[in-house]
């Protein structure tokens, strides 16, 4: 049958996880923890089921959870969203992204992506009938081994068809965070070109070295144009629960809800009730950055004993490593070889570009996920230390 996405296969995350399983490799590829959520949270969800929270939740989400989200976002960013009309609970960040793109991008529109970009965005844009315009970050250089957002290049890519810019900070896969100069640049851009910002903040609670996560919604001008999207998957070590949310000005949210109500209608009720309850506890959102910073540092220390060179990691639970010492070639081929021969699965960064086989998408970088038990990280490091 005619395909709407003829060039799309299964995601690199599914592919590498399946290969890791087949080869009994340690899976530092797909981003998920190998430890469970808090028992208090699990108990809260079980209690919610036992207490009868088992039928459809309201379309926009349980009021208790929307209230908890409103209060969390207000504390984090000083922005107040209406519980009734500006917050929707979604089936993970994924559904929030897809529903927003289907609702807001029109046929013929252009949507800007900053490369490397998470794999979900472009197919969703295309299903909306719009076109993804991919603007690369400046890749790491000899004297500055980190990716860098090029706001001039982004501005130069704007046309009268541009509807939206997708942001994702803390950034998967580079670990970059937004700085206040970036928000300044965004303010300048939005005051000249009033486009929408789709801000995917799935890793909002994982930022290192004393930084705070900066969201565009912390600036009033930007907030008027932003759909803020996040998920409890990373925050609560529960990627399989698929509960997320989006916040946006009421007129924008009205449109997003039109899609949300006909894709999932509503999200798992006991999950929502349990998460709402848990968010009321004092330590629900604290300590995650410290927890992951220790894991990042453990991985960094171990990588010193390998030929792999880590790039700077400011947030998320991913670290990029430069594999130049292992020779040339496509990143994907190297990732497959490391999984099979060394027993460590990773994700090629080229998978986050429009054409993964293009030389400009191949910077000899692999993404390692450090949301793993220390023992798992140590075992993986031991294997990587054998590389020459
Ligand atoms: N955005 C980014 C940048 C991600 O890395 C992920 C996957 N964790 C998602 C969105 C999807 O999040 P969820 O699992 O909550 O749908
Ligand atoms: N977001 C996860 C990652 O970047 C993958 C989620 C998925 O498998 N779709 O690894």
* Residue 94 Cβ contacting ligand 1 at under 6 Å: yes
Complete DSSP assignment for 278-294: HHTSTTTTSSHHHHHHH
Protein residue closest via CA to atom 7 of ligand 2: 13
* Residue 120 Cβ contacting ligand 2 at under 6 Å: no
- CA dihedral 179→160→96→215, nearest 10 degrees, is 20
Helix ranges restricted to H, 264-385: 269-279, 288-303, 331-337, 374-384
> What is the 97 CA–ligand 1 centroid distance (Å)?
9
**Domains of the chain by residue range:** 12-30+287-384, 39-279
190-221 pLDDT, tens per residue?
999 999 999 999 999 999 999 999 999 999 99
* Residue 230 Cβ contacting ligand 2 at under 6 Å: no
Cα–Cα distance measured from residue 296 to residue 280, given in angstroms and rounded to the nearest whole number: 29
* Residue 31 Cβ contacting ligand 1 at under 6 Å: yes
* Residue 174 Cβ contacting ligand 2 at under 6 Å: no
206-262 pLDDT, tens per residue?
999 999 999 999 999 999 999 999 999 999 999 999 999 999 999 999 999 999 999
- CA dihedral 333→336→340→341, nearest 10 degrees, is 40
Extract long-range pairs of 378-382: CB within 8 Å, 24+ residues apart: 378/298, 378/302, 379/26, 380/26, 380/28, 380/344, 381/299, 381/302, 381/303, 381/305, 381/306
Output the pLDDT for position 43.
97
Output the pLDDT for position 282.
76
Could you identify the atom of ligand 1 that is nearest to the CA of residue 94? Answer: 16
Cα–Cα distance measured from residue 74 to residue 265, given in angstroms and rounded to the nearest whole number: 26
- CA dihedral 48→49→50→52, nearest 10 degrees, is 90
Output the pLDDT for position 283.
84
* Residue 268 Cβ contacting ligand 2 at under 6 Å: no
Q: What value of ipTM does the predicted structure carry? A: 0.98
The CATH architecture that domain 39-279 belongs to is 3-Layer(aba) Sandwich (3.40)
The CATH architecture that domain 12-30+287-384 belongs to is Alpha-Beta Complex (3.90)
Could you identify the atom of ligand 2 that is nearest to the CA of residue 347? Answer: 10
**Which token pair is 24?**
């009994």
> What is the 306 CA–ligand 2 centroid distance (Å)?
26
Could you identify the atom of ligand 1 that is nearest to the CA of residue 96? Answer: 16
φ/ψ of 103, rounded to 5, equals -80, -30
Mutation test residue for ligand 2: of 31, 168, 320, the one with most atoms within 8 Å of CB:
31
Output the pLDDT for position 365.
97
Which of the ligands is closest to the CA of residue 369?
2
Residue with tokens 């999207």: 229
What stretches in the chain show pLDDT beneath 50? none
Output the pLDDT for position 119.
97
Listed in sequence order, the residues at least 6 apart from 313 whose beta carbon sits closer than 8 Å to its beta carbon are 175, 208, 296, 300, 319, 320
Output the pLDDT for position 178.
97
Output the pLDDT for position 145.
83
């Amino acid at each position: 049958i005619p395909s709407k996405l003829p060039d799309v296969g299964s995601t690199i995350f599914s592919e590498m996880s399946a290969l890791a399983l087949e080869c009994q490799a340690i899976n530092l590829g797909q981003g998920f923890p190998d430890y469970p959520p808090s028992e208090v949270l699990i108990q809260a969800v079980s209690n919610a089921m036992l207490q009868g929270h088992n039928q459809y939740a309201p379309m926009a989400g349980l009021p208790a959870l929307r209230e908890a989200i409103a209060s969390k976002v207000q504390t984090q960013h000083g922005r107040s969203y209406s519980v009734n009309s500006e917050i929707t609970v979604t089936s993970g960040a994924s559904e929030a992204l897809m529903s927003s793109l289907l609702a807001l991008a029109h046929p013929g529109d252009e949507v800007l992506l900053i490369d490397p970009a998470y794999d979900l965005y472009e197919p969703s844009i295309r299903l909306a009938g719009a076109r993804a315009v991919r603007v690369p970050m400046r890749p790491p250089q000899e004297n500055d081994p980190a990716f860098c957002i090029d706001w001039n290049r982004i501005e130069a890519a704007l046309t009268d068809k541009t509807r939206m810019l997708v942001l994702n900070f803390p950034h998967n896969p580079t670990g970059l965070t937004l700085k206040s100069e970036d928000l300044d640049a965004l303010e300048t851009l939005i005051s000249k070109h009033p486009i929408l910002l789709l801000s995917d903040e799935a890793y909002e609670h994982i930022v290192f070295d004393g930084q705070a996560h900066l969201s565009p919604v912390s600036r009033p001008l930007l907030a008027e144009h932003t759909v803020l999207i996040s998920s409890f998957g990373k925050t609560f070590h529960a990627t399989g629960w698929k509960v997320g949310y989006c916040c946006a000005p009421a007129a924008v949210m009205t449109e997003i809800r039109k899609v949300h109500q006909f894709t999932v209608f509503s999200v798992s009720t006991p999950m929502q009730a349990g998460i709402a309850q848990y968010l009321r506890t004092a330590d629900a959102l604290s300590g995650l950055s410290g927890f992951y910073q220790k894991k990042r540092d453990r991985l960094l220390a171990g990588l010193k004993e390998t030929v792999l060179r880590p790039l700077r990691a400011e947030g998320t639970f991913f670290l990029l490593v430069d594999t130049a010492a292992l020779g040339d070639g496509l990143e994907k081929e190297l990732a497959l070889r490391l999984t099979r021969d060394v027993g460590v699965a990773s994700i090629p960064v080229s998978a986050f570009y429009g054409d993964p086989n293009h030389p400009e998408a191949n910077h000899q970088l692999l993404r390692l996920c450090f949301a793993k038990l220390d023992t798992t990280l140590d075992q993986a490091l031991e294997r990587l230390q054998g590389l020459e």
